[in-house]
Amino acid sequence: MSLARIWRILRKEFALGPRSPFFSYTLILPVAMTLIFQVAFGSLFEPKPRMGIVDDGSSAITAAIEQMDGIELTIFEDAAGLTAAVEANDVDAGLVLPAGFDGAVAAGERPDLTFYISGESYASNRIILSVTTIDLIRDIEGAEAPVTVDVVSYGEEGLPTNVRLIPVVVFYALVMAGVFVPGSSLVEEKEHGTLVAMLVTPARSGEILAAKWALGVLLATVMSVFTLALNGALGARPFEVLLVIVIAALMTSTIGLLIGVVAKDSTVFFGLVKGLGIFLFAPAAFYLFPDWPQWIAMLFPLYWIIEPIWQVSVMGASVTSVWAELAVALAITAAVGVVVAVLSRTMRARLIGE
């Protein structure tokens, strides 16, 4: 097997790949799904609470808000500029802190304080800014809160829907890039006759399959990592996440080769894809419905890569805690690879009449 020939074939795949609709879907679908899911269930476009302040006396309130990551602060020169910004909904709320305000509050006085609210702001942002302002004023006064709140949680803490959708989006990134791209590329070569042309050259069938497999692995790895980053799910161990993603890409790309070798034309290819779609997708559905018996998901091959991705990227687990799942995934990959190697010889004999 020649690495030089594999590299030349791989370069051809990257050059011609964008012409394939599957290649384009691989790049577009995970991003589109992330945007749709985050808008529907998450907070990708939910703005931070925006506070505007006119501070004539270097108040501790301004300094405290500046240190808060969850609030976007804008300082205005005068009250006219602040009120105009509130009316235009450029800020959710505004304060005018006169000179000597902190000292007057600390001395027990009750100076006037005007709190402006934008009528177009989110109700949640108004509440956050109002409560934050009251708490900061109470700190200056040195008074304790009138009540003490104990938060008692019953039952298992659930995860937001947008977080549980992450395995679904990553699944599509892996399947589109790892399964569909190499599989459809191989089928297109069969239909256009270019596969036969390559097989009568010094290029071996194993080298052709290796190049298409490498294409799927690279695309699946890049798109999965990008999808996790877009969803803020690379976690605290990005290199371990990358390792898990690479193993997942190896497995999905090998499955893609199997489908491509078996399918004699695009009709059979799409039939196999439709038939296997639910079978492939099934383990991802269990993350949307955690009340389902989770052991059922283990019956499906892609569970052994989706679960490690979930644990390491979303739940923050170490890769050592999912070594058993990764071992199963590698074993499945090896077994499917052996089947591909056997079937590829049959495919070559059928195509060139050996």
pLDDT tens, residue by residue, 316-341: 889 999 999 999 999 999 999 999 99
Domain-by-domain residue ranges, the chain? Answer: 3-41+160-352, 50-141
52 forms beta bridges with 74, 94
pLDDT at 147: 42
Structure confidence at residue 254 (pLDDT): 95
Going by C-alpha positions, the residue among 50, 44, 91 that lies closest to residue 68 is 50
Ramachandran class of 55: left when φ > 0, alpha when ψ lies in -120 to 50, beta otherwise: beta
Residue 116 CB contacts under 8 Å (≥ 6 apart), including other chains: 52, 82, 83, 86, 93, 94, 95
**Range 105-112, long-range pairs (CB < 8 A, 24+ positions):** 105/137, 105/140, 105/141, 106/140, 106/141, 106/142, 108/141
* pLDDT of the chain, 354 residues: tens digit per residue: 677 778 787 777 777 766 777 677 777 877 787 777 766 665 544 567 899 999 988 889 999 998 887 888 999 999 899 999 998 888 989 998 988 888 888 888 888 888 898 877 777 788 888 888 888 888 887 765 444 434 443 334 456 666 777 888 888 888 888 888 888 888 888 888 888 888 777 778 888 899 999 999 999 999 999 988 888 788 778 899 999 999 999 999 999 999 999 988 888 888 888 888 788 888 888 887 877 888 898 999 999 999 999 999 888 889 999 999 999 999 999 999 999 999 988 888 787 765
Beta carbons within 8 Å of 156's beta carbon, 6+ residues apart: none
Convert the pLDDT of each residue in 146-177 to its tens digit: 444 344 433 344 566 667 778 888 888 888 88
Q: What is the pLDDT of residue 145?
A: 47
* Calpha distance 79→82 (Å, rounded): 5
Q: What are the strands of the beta sheet with 50-55, ordered from one edge?
A: 72-75, 50-55, 93-97, 114-117
User: 213, 253 in Cβ contact below 8 A?
Assistant: yes
With 0-12 CB in 10 A as exposed, 13-18 as middle and 19+ as buried, what is 276? middle
Task: Give pLDDT, residue 272.
Answer: 87
Has domain 50-141 been given CATH number 3.90.1150.10? no
User: What pLDDT was estimated at residue 17?
Assistant: 66
Residue 9's nearest CA partner among 267, 142, 207 is 207
pLDDT on residue 340: 93
DSSP type of residue 47: P
Token pair listed for 103: 């000292």
Region of 193 please: left (phi>0), alpha (psi -120 to 50) or beta: left
The per-residue pLDDT for 159 is 60
